[in-house]
Chains A and B, each alone.
Chain A
Amino acid sequence: MVPEHVVWIPAVHRDLTAGQAQVHVVAATVGEIVAALEGRFPGLAARLTHDNALRAGIVVAVNGEVSSRGLRQRLSRASEVHFVPAIAGGQIGSGQR
């Protein structure tokens, strides 16, 4: 059975969700979450992804742990999902695409 997750919408993108901060999404991967978000909030996928990957400077945290697999991260159990700035050891991305 595909689990349901709590997905937090980044504050700067809540203009697309009428201010909604979190939504519940049934998905097997982070990629499926983004697709589901796009269905409900058109334009969100283009902000979070580029060329079928999370944009440079954005990472996904699943249950408090940043995933190196990005959109390919599998979600085998109900999870809390955050899209957050990629800061690794410190600096944020220094460009855009």
Chain B
Amino acid sequence: MTASTYKVIGSRPLRPDGVDKVTGRALYGADVKLPGMLHGKVLRSPHAHARILSIDFSAARALPGVRAVVTAQDLPSIGDQMADLGESTVNLRYVSNNILAHDKVLYYGHAVAAVAADNVHVAEEALALIKVEYERLPHVLDGKQAMLPEAPILLSDLRTNELGKLGGAPTNVASHLCHQRGDLAAGFAQADVVVERTFQTAMVHQGYIEPQTVTALWNEDDQLSIWCSTQGAFSVQEQLAELLQVPLSRITVTPTEIGGGFGGKINVYLDPVAALLSRKAGHRPVKMTMTRAEVLAGTGPTSGSHIRVKMGARRDGTLTAAEAELIYEAGAYPGSPVGAGCSVIFGPYRLENLQIDGYDVVVNRPKTAAYRAPGGTNAIFASETVIDELAEAVGLDPVEFRLRNAVREGDSRPDGPEYRRIGLMETLEAARTHPHYQTRLTGKHRGRGFAVSAWFNWGGKSSATATVNKDGTVNLIEGSTDIGGSRASIAMQLAETLGVAYDDIRPQVVGTAGVGYNDVTGGSRTTFGTGWAVYEVGKALLAEMGRRAADYWDVPAESVHAENGVFAHNGDRLTFRELAGKLDVPVTASAAVHPQGYGPGFGAHIVDVEVDVETGKVTILRYTAVQDVGKAIHPSYVEGQLQGGVAQGVGWALNEEYIYDAQGRLVNASLLDYRMPTALDLPMIDTVLVEVPNPGHPYGVRGVGEVPIMPPAAAVANAIYQAVGVRMAELPMSPARMAAALAAQG
């Protein structure tokens, strides 16, 4: 099917959940209320690193209104066991230790104990009555420092893992990755210009508006029911089964609407605690909702990092060699996104000679979680700044320099495998010819920056079920949390397959009891993977409806043809709706898929900034994001993904950072002090959708959500250089850092 023949795909219908959300009727986690419900709160560590000598909660338990207190002693003992969460694999022993600290607290905000009480106020009062005796230990917050021989060791059993090769000595370096090909020395010898720079990026949070929230009911018959805000109900079910050592079949997870996730709502934090409290409190339901301070201090942000990049190019602009070292702070337990950083740092470029080393390092900060293009923004900030400097050094336009080195089909990714059909060249050309790039920027202390990014995307597993109603509408049951409008994009693909109107599809997102397995909504996979599942559902429905039409006409099934929602045989015709009304036996179909043909995506961003040289404040004047999006199923939501990615990327660039005091305590755990961009900080973000269909999907879909968060930091840094001549090497480029850099420039 060619793009021009689509009836539904490419249109911009209203989202099915839109009215409920804008009128406040949609049910979020905090709206869940059950009879006899208790409220839980968590006691958190005031120390960055300390041994727990004792916990005395007798006074808290005796407080009227308190129904249960739990500590790590209530969690089953978990050995080393890996679990695939979709966007990451985790060692469940570490996850268990992160949920409630066992022998040590490893970061400020680490959960130590929890209380269930008749109301939140009593629960909070009880927390103050829990006596925890700590032995404080030296802490380390910085990844580079944590690698030093004299650094305090966080996890005594940790050994460096090099893709299966284990080190022998205690360390904070959880893993070392390396991608290498060609001859690095020979590559740099061929270069006329070599640029080497080091960069540092701050730990930042996803910044979802809705805090983590869960309600758990551990029933007398050992059935555990969970209502929560999550990116993946099945992932929560699996994590709980392992962490609580409860059979999977006894756990039902019902996802509520979600107020943002960006990767941060995959790992469980409160869910097992609420379950334990429910059981211990006499099988009463327990609700737990984090405060904003808890979200920032106690859930998983993404890594701060140190990155060194060295690249060489010939005078004609051809890259000859590239080398990078990435040190990512994993937080208290292993599992930073350094692997993804290593895979994308030179992803947009043809390179015969490269070496990339990545280090996953534990530090006394919250355990990191996935965050939109995990690890990518850090890496692209470093590499695209160096690319910009190289382009300037050889006297080439930044876009032209990138065009001369851009990867095409058949070129190798940094980690080895070849790219299939990709759209980087088309994206760069669209950026170069865009009015934004073609319009001269004028004004004092103003500059234009450019940067590109690559992201590999993901497929994952999806299931869906559809039922034909008597009136010709189709109920679509799916299990992918709808974060960015996927109800619409999935329903549109089913409508396209069936040849019916979008409004005739009634999508519902259900939990683990209502549909087959679905991986998390993450990794830019849902419109791709669940879209593929409903494509298969649609084909199965069409086939069955065709058989029903044949039965109705009493003709062989193979003589009935279906096209554009009409079944025909020898001049007889029935629309999908007419045939649905004649069904005496219901028609339903299900499909489950695990597609692998997800295609990488590429973005190219143009930004104009103005620098206030007195205060160091950087103002975004104009922003354009160009991206190879495959086939845009619902262009408005694709544009929204690009705009949202840019907004978050600008937060990385200019303001967001975790700030700790000398004792390792987080001091900016509120949205007043953890400064995220608001509408006042951003202009209208222009978008250009470059549609290079992915041959690995029936409708050409590529993931789009992660690509756009990566270029902004580099693009803004490059614009700052054009504006005031300062090369910024540390994120965020806050007014304080800008002012210092300008002062150093003299």
Contacts and interface: CB of A to CB of B under 8 A. Distances in A.
Contact of A92 (B166, B336, B420): B336
B524 A97 contact: no
Contacts of A96: 80, 91, 159, 161, 166, 174-175, 334
A91 B91 contact: no
B415 A12 contact: no
B166 A56 contact: no
A87 B333 contact: no
Interface residues of A, number: 40
Interface in A12-58: 12-14, 21, 46-50, 55-58
A40 B522 CA distance: 40
Given A11-B179, A65-B597, A89 B339 contact: no
Contact of A95 (B93, B178, B370): B93
Contacts of A67: 596
A4 B91 CA distance: 36
B301 to A, nearest CB: 12
A10 B175 CA distance: 14
Given A58-B164, A67-B596, A89 B416 contact: no
B292 to A, nearest CB: 24
Interface string B14-47: 0000000000000000000000000000000000
B335 A94 contact: yes
B177 A94 contact: no
A73 to B, nearest CB: 11
A66 B88 contact: no
A84 B417 contact: yes
A3 interface: no
Nearest to A66: B596
Contacts, number: 177
B165 A47 contact: yes
B479 interface: no
A67 B597 CA distance: 10
A81 to B, nearest CB: 9
A90 B418 contact: no
A46 B460 CA distance: 27
Interface residues of B, number: 67
Contacts of B622: none
B700 interface: no
Interface string A51-85: 00001111001011111100000000000101111
B340 A57 contact: no
Nearest to B374: A90
Given A47-B163, A91-B335, A95-B93, A12 B176 contact: yes
Given A8-B416, A47-B164, A64-B419, A88 B333 contact: no
B170 to A, nearest CB: 13
B86 A88 contact: yes
20 contacts: A10-B178, A11-B178, A12-B162, A21-B181, A56-B82, A58-B163, A64-B413, A64-B420, A83-B163, A84-B417, A85-B342, A87-B339, A88-B86, A90-B371, A91-B337, A94-B91, A94-B360, A95-B90, A95-B334, A96-B159
Interface of B: 80-82, 84, 86-91, 93-94, 159, 161-166, 174-181, 263, 330, 333-340, 342-343, 355, 360, 368-371, 373-375, 413, 415-420, 456, 458, 460, 520, 522-525, 594, 596-597, 706
Interface of A: 8, 10-14, 21, 46-50, 55-58, 61, 63-68, 80, 82-97
Given A66-B596, A89-B523, 6 more contacts: A11-B179, A47-B164, A50-B164, A64-B417, A82-B416, A87-B343
